[in-house]
Amino acid sequence: MSEKTQQLTSAEQSGVGQVLVDRFELLALLGEGGQARVYKAHDRILDITVAIKLIPQANVLSSNAIENLRNEVLMARQLNHNHIVNVYEFYQTAHLVFYTMAFVNGTPLQTALSNKPDQNDAAQWITQLVDALKTCHDNDIIHGDIKLDNILIDTSGRLVLLDFGISKYLTAPHQEQGSITWIAPEVRKHRQISAASDLYSLGKVIEAICSTMTHSDRSWRRKMSSLSVALQAIDPAQRPPLAQVRKELDTSISHNPQGRVLVGVAVLVACLIGGIWLNETDSDLTISESTQTDQLKTITIITDYQQPSMVDFARLIHLGLQSHSSVYSIDPQQVRLVEENLGLSPLSDTSDRARITQLLESEFLLIIERYKLEQDNVIRISLRGMPGERDWFTQTYSLAEYRLSDIIEPVLQNITEVLQDDPISAPLNSAASFDLQELQKAFREDSEKAIEEQLLALQTSSKTQPEVWYYVAQIALDFDASTIASDALSRLIESPTINNLWLLRGQALLAQLNDDYETAAARLDALLERTEPRPDLLAERANLAFLMNDLTQAKNLYQQALEVDANQPYWWFELARIKIIQSETKSAIENELTQSLVRFRQLQDDYGQGLVLNAFGVAHLRMSEFSTAGRYFTESLEFRDATTHPRDRATTLANLATVRAIEANYQEADDLLREARTVLEQLNDKLAIAHIENERGLLLEEQGLYVAALKHYKTSLDIRLQESDDYLQAQSVNNVAFMHFLLGDFSLAEVYWRQAIQVFNEVKDLATLHSTQLSYTQLLLLRGQYRQAEQILVDILQNKERTPEAEIATYLLLSRLQFAQSQLKVARQHIDDAIASARQIDDSRGLVEALLWAAEMSIDLADKESAEPFVAELMQLSKQLNHEQRIAQQWLQARLNHIENTQEKGPLEDVLTRLLDGPYSQVLKARIAADIISRIGIPTTHPAWDFLADFVSPTMYATRMDYLIALIHQDDTALAELLMLLKRYPLYWRNAEYYQRISTHSERAILETAAMEAQQRLFEQMTDGQQQQYQNFLRQQ
What integer pLDDT is reported at residue 1000 of this predicted model? 58
Lowest mean pLDDT among 610-624, 823-837, 987-1001: 987-1001
Confidence of residue 733 (pLDDT cuts 50, 70, 90): very high
Instruction: Kindly indicate the confidence band of residue 33, based on its pLDDT and cuts at 50, 70 and 90.
Output: low
Residue type, 800: K
**pLDDT surpasses 90 at 724:** no
Contact (Cβ atoms closer than 8 angstroms) between residue 947 and residue 975: no
Task: Output the 3-class SS for 391-451.
Answer: EEEEEEEECCCCCHHHHHHHHHHHHHHHHCCCCCCCCCCHHHHHHHHHHHHHHHHCCHHHH
What does the pLDDT read at residue 205?
92
Domain range 432-544, CATH architecture: Alpha Horseshoe (1.25)
Percent above pLDDT 90 for the chain: 35
Q: What is the mean pLDDT of residues 383-409?
A: 83
pLDDT band at 264 (very low <50, low <70, confident <90, very high): very low
pLDDT digits (tens, 9 = 90+) for 654-698: 999 989 988 889 899 999 999 999 999 999 989 889 989 998 998
CATH number for the domain running over 803-904: 1.25.40
Residue 391 — very low, low, confident or very high, per pLDDT cuts 50/70/90?
Answer: confident
Beta bridge partners of 48: 43
Reported as a single tens digit per residue, the pLDDT across 877-919 is: 988 888 899 999 999 999 999 988 888 889 999 999 999 999 9
pLDDT of residue 118: 84
Q: What is the mean pLDDT of residues 182-198?
A: 78
The 3-class SS string of 137-180 reads HHCCEECCCCCHHHEEEECCCCEEECCCCCCEECCCCCCCCCCC
End-to-end CA distance of the chain: 75
The two domains 108-158+172-255 and 803-904 share their CATH topology (first three levels equal)? no
Tell me what pLDDT residue 615 has. Answer: 94
290-301: average pLDDT: 63
Mean of the per-residue pLDDT values of the chain = 83
- Per-residue pLDDT tens digits for 308-353: 888 888 888 888 887 777 788 888 888 888 888 778 888 888 888 8
User: What is the arithmetic mean of pLDDT over 847-874?
Assistant: 94
- Per-residue pLDDT for 839 more than 50? yes
Task: Report residue 217's pLDDT band, with 50, 70 and 90 as the boundaries.
Answer: low
792 vs 219 pLDDT, higher one: 792
pTM, 2 dp: 0.59
pLDDT at residue number 274: 30
6-102: CATH architecture? 2-Layer Sandwich (3.30)
Close Cβ partners of 337 (under 8 Å, ≥ 6 residues apart) = 603, 605
DSSP structural state of residue 921 = -
Domain range 293-424, CATH architecture: 3-Layer(aba) Sandwich (3.40)
User: What is the per-residue pLDDT across 41-75, written as a single tens digit (0 to 9) for each?
Assistant: 998 887 889 999 887 654 556 677 777 777 777 77
Which fold would CATH assign to domain 558-725? 1.25.40
Asked whether residue 275 carries a pLDDT value surpassing 50, the answer given is no
Specify the pLDDT at position 174: 41
Separation between Cα atoms, residue 956 and residue 988, nearest integer Å: 13
Taking the C-alpha atoms of residue 35 and residue 729, their distance in angstroms, rounded to an integer, is: 62
Q: What gap in Å lies between CA 249 and CA 702, rounded to an integer?
A: 46
Rounded to an integer, the average pLDDT of 573-583 is 89
Indicate the fold that domain 108-158+172-255 takes in CATH: Transferase(Phosphotransferase); domain 1 (1.10.510)
* pLDDT for res 4: 33
Mean pLDDT of 793-822: 93
Predicted confidence (pLDDT) at residue 258 exceeds the cutoff of 90:
no
pLDDT at site 269: 25
Mean pLDDT of 124-153: 89
Query: Above 90 in pLDDT, residue 816?
Result: yes
pLDDT digits (tens, 9 = 90+) for 481-508: 889 999 989 988 888 888 888 888 889 9
Domain ranges of the chain: 6-102, 108-158+172-255, 293-424, 432-544, 558-725, 803-904
Please, what's the largest Cα pairwise distance for the chain? 119
Using the predicted structure, report yes or no on whether residue 34 has a pLDDT greater than 90.
no
307 — pLDDT class (breaks 50, 70, 90): confident
**Mean pLDDT of all residues in 549-569:** 89
> Is the pLDDT assigned to residue 432 strictly greater than 70?
yes
Residues 590, 593, 596, 598, CA torsion sign: negative
Is the Cβ–Cβ distance between 721 and 729 less than 8 Å? yes
Residue 8 confidence class, pLDDT cut points 50, 70, 90:
very low
Paired residues of 141 in beta bridges: 169
